[in-house]
Structure 1
Amino acid sequence: MQHSSQPAQPPHRPRAEHALLAPLVGLVLAALFVGCSFGRAPIEEARSASPESGIEVHPVIASEPPALTEGWTGFLQGLERARRNLEDPSAYPPEPTDRNLAEGYRYLLGHLARIIEAETEGHPDFPYFRRSVSMMAKWTIENPDTMYLSATIDAAGTYRIRGQALDTTGWRTSEPGVGYPRAPRVVIFQTTTAVVGQTGRLEEMAECRNQTLDALDQFLLEIDDDGRFEILVAAERPEGYAGNFLATRAELPCRNAGGGITIQAREATQLNVREIFSDWDAEMPLDLEIVRLDKRGESRPPRTPEEMGRHLDEIGRRLANQIVFWNLLHEFGLEVRGDRDDDGRTAFPMNALNPPAPPFIAGGTAGAGQLYAAGSFELAEDEALVVRVAAPAEPHYIGFQLGNLWGEGPDQANYVSSLTGTQNPVASDGARWYVVSARDPGTAGWVDTTGLPKGTIGMRFIYRDPPAAGDMPTIETFRVRTDEVRTVLPTDTPSVTPDARRQQVHARQLHIQRRWRQY
């Protein structure tokens, strides 16, 4: 039953370069769980277009600010570099199948949309929570159960977050199914130093560029009887202040290339929020606001040509860098296309998952307090990967997710392409069972590949208290034909009819509209 086709291998980096990249693999894994020249000629050509088009044509303005012209040129050059990074083998993109290319171009546009907002609207004096991941802008091998928010901050500033949650009984007890409607299962606030991938270099993961300074989750968050809370965000906790607090400055450890640890003074530039939903039918997003206390009521200055020119150039640069960074991560960090550092194994095992492990916090900005397990799949249309997950200590949250080779979760609204612990309860043998396949096996636990023949698998575990060594989750995998999955599953695994599956998808569609407030 083994599927033995081998995809074409992209060009290897030289062995010496492998040796330099090898120390990064562990950091990358832990951190996850993270041109053509355009001048004035085309612009003038467009502006001199025939008036028969019905478009009013204006001549080039001789006094047009050079900063805007230069910024626009840089933006277009970055856009073209990003496009080439989708297809050029030297940038290590996925295999150029029709689906990979179609998704790749939409993936590029998603990056562009979020980078435009972050670059032009993100301001540390006038913060707000923008959606750093959305249904349009998916990246970082994101968790489809999560709403990711981010605000731009200045480490020298003092900020106040105010929020309100619905029923939070589950935060205090970890009991499932308590209260309706209720708060997200997990909420994590983090101050972080930088956005992953901005340099376009995989080596940034070893340079401790992207680090978490401080974090606060639902277990520690102080709230009143109505679910209201405040969080003070500043460089230092004020004397006598005992409320919720996040630091924007900290001395952090960093593992250097030689394996030693150095301590560095770091400052936050971002405040990130994760709202993680387990019961999609009952859990609702938080209401949140953020303000810089010494800037309340002030007006943001109008943009200047110089400022906008810098934004345009930076958008193009970041776009191209993000595309190539995640290509390199999949190729050399995760090794989804085979052993790239010649150590006889792949970082993401094929049709299997690594054992759950915590992130190395100095290596990146992965969700604080989470355990991760990850691997990859490659399945024929009539094959399934059955995954058995036994967790002797029940996690507060558990999620099972897929990803395409660009690092995006498949459409979680219109497919059952992920499952939470609530959506896939423990079976009669004390474990959770998942069936990863393109065809519906007609059983509980199906995770739809959405037709992807190859992709990544991720699992996230969050505990109230760290589990003992003997209580860590264990994972087994079985590769079988889709019509043979019941030979592996517990005999009492429920069947799911086509009509019940449509109802399952419909409930997901409604939740995604509520979560992202797609009114």
Structure 2
Amino acid sequence: MNLECSTRTRSFRGGPVTGSDEAAEAVRTGQAWSEFCRALEKAGDVVLSDNTPNTAFDRAEGFRYLTRLTREMLYSCVDNADPDQPRLHELDLVKIGADNPDNVYLSANIRGDREYRITGERGTISYFSIGSKANRYAKDGTMASTGELSDADLVPEPDGSIEIIASATRQGRNWLPLAPDSTGLVVRQTYLDRTTETPGKWQIQRIGEPDRAEPLDPTFLLGALRRAALAVHGTAATFAGWTDMFAERPNELVDFGQEMFQRAGGDPEICYLHGYWQLEPGQAWVIDTDVPPCPYWNFQLDNWWMESLDQRRRITVNKHTARLDADGRLRIVVADRDPGVGNWIDTCGHDRGTALLRWLGAEQHPIPTCRVVPLDSLDDLHDEEDR
């Protein structure tokens, strides 16, 4: 996801800029850095909250989460913040808000009063979408959509390449609307089958961009460090609040209201069914549901911080990888070992966390039936399937 890190005041281009005396002095004396470090320390309060798990394991993951957020926000707010020379950046080192293990996410900082050309090749990956966002995670935990374009809308050039124009006024065959408060772009490329599909390759350029970058402005650096720290704290607090809400209905997958998830940057084509799970040793979380006709769906297991679990293990299942029952229903079994029934999802050493079922492009959005059972009781079902 893109965070609100592009400068929203005057550009730091166009002639040598020394910045205000106060900013220059804060940078020269190290006050700016000390302020940044103190703000990061304050973000640790999210991990240490009374509402979070107090085990060493869960809090270790929480502090690792903060390091991942810090790395991403520093890059987005300091090195890749310039809306005049944006770069599409793959979010491969950070996990935010139930990141989809099937997705390749790209992000860039932009401004709503600029115009941009995004060019590339569609590739063979199952799904593509691009959205312009007004990101306010650091302020109020929202990232509202200001324009959306999906692969169903794309019109390729004769050679198969694609050009998208992002602007406030309609332009070109593929137009992505921008609003005055647009701050970023988010690209989602979604696999059904990682073994055969290839994601597209995309570039972005501001239309009429300046020829060269100017020297670093201390005023910009001071503001960028402040925005990065606020983004770390705001993002962590936002999704910790979501987990608290999900925990009020444990071991269910619930439609908590799609508007909230869209305000936080969700894809309008997706229905999100979030949940909170908690298991005792020897228990399994069994999820049964009908599967609506749709081009893509998936289920994933996340930790308490809404990070997808280790993707080298069986922590997700989708339309391509799932095994359905004879009547076409889906059964998912979340447990610490494979019972040989349904579609096993590995808890990866966790005893609690969050989960998400996505229906993309579906007209119906079934709510699954969920129950917690003794894991050993599923062995009988396995024996029945074998007979």
What TM-score results when the alignment is normalised by the length of structure 1? 0.65
**Take 1:360 and 1:222, find their aligned partners in 2: how far apart are those partners?**
31
What letter matches 1:155 in structure 2? G
SS of equivalent to 1:290: strand
SS of equivalent to 1:408: coil
* 1:176-195 → structure 2 map (5 Å cutoff): 183-195=124-136
Residues 184 and 277 of structure 1 are in contact (CA less than 8 Å); yes or no, is this contact kept in structure 2? yes
SS of equivalent to 1:272: strand
**Take 1:65 and 1:187, find their aligned partners in 2: how far apart are those partners?**
43
Residues 355 and 475 of structure 1 are in contact (CA less than 8 Å); yes or no, is this contact kept in structure 2? no
**Take 2:367 and 2:229, find their aligned partners in 1: how far apart are those partners?**
43
* 1:157-172 → structure 2 map (5 Å cutoff): 157-166=114-123
233, 249, 253: which one aligns with 1:353: 253
What letter matches 1:119 in structure 2? C
RMSD: 2.4
Aligned to 1:172: none
SS of equivalent to 1:74: helix
Residues 71 and 311 of structure 1 are in contact (CA less than 8 Å); yes or no, is this contact kept in structure 2? no
Unaligned residue ranges in structure 2 (runs of 5+): 1-22
SS of equivalent to 1:294: coil
Change (3 A) 1:221 1:488: farther
372, 379, 387: which one aligns with 1:479: 372
Is 1:273 the counterpart of 2:187? The answer is yes
TM superposition shift of 1:357: 6.6
Listed one character per residue, the Cα deviations across residues 17-59 of structure 1 (whole Å, up to 9, x for unaligned) are: xxxxxxxxxxxxxxxxxxxxxxxxxxxxxxxxxxxxxxxxxxx
SS of equivalent to 2:340: coil
TM superposition shift of 1:405: 1.1
Change (3 A) 1:244 1:424: same
* 1:78-477 → structure 2 map (5 Å cutoff): 78-89=39-50, 92=51, 94-120=52-78, 121-131=80-90, 133-134=91-92, 136-166=93-123, 183-195=124-136, 197-199=137-139, 204=140, 210-224=143-157, 227-238=160-171, 241=172, 243-249=173-179, 266-295=180-209, 298-331=211-244, 334-336=245-247, 346=248, 349-355=249-255, 358-359=258-259, 363-391=263-291, 393-412=292-311, 414-443=312-341, 445-463=343-361, 466-467=362-363, 471-477=364-370
SS of equivalent to 1:194: strand
Residues 341 and 381 of structure 2 are in contact (CA less than 8 Å); yes or no, is this contact kept in structure 1? no
**Bigger Cα displacement from structure 2, 301-310 vs 211-220:** 301-310
**Take 1:429 and 1:225, find their aligned partners in 2: how far apart are those partners?**
44
What TM-score results when the alignment is normalised by the length of structure 2? 0.86
Change (3 A) 1:472 1:304: closer
Aligned to 2:15: none
Tell me which protein shows more strand as a share of its residues.
2
* 1:4-15 → structure 2 map (5 Å cutoff): none
Residues 246 and 276 of structure 2 are in contact (CA less than 8 Å); yes or no, is this contact kept in structure 1? no
Residues 384 and 480 of structure 1 are in contact (CA less than 8 Å); yes or no, is this contact kept in structure 2? yes
Listed one character per residue, the Cα deviations across residues 92-122 of structure 1 (whole Å, up to 9, x for unaligned) are: 4x11101111111110100000000110122
Listed one character per residue, the Cα deviations across residues 142-166 of structure 1 (whole Å, up to 9, x for unaligned) are: 2221122111111111111101023
Residues 350 and 378 of structure 1 are in contact (CA less than 8 Å); yes or no, is this contact kept in structure 2? yes
Unaligned residue ranges in structure 1 (runs of 5+): 1-63, 167-182, 250-265, 337-345, 495-519
Aligned to 2:17: none
Change (3 A) 1:456 1:129: same
When the two structures are aligned, how many residues end up with a matched partner? 362
Residues 75 and 317 of structure 1 are in contact (CA less than 8 Å); yes or no, is this contact kept in structure 2? no
Return the index of the structure with the highest Cα Rg: 1
TM superposition shift of 1:77: 0.8
Change (3 A) 1:488 1:473: farther
TM superposition shift of 1:409: 1.0
SS of equivalent to 1:141: coil
Change (3 A) 1:493 1:394: farther
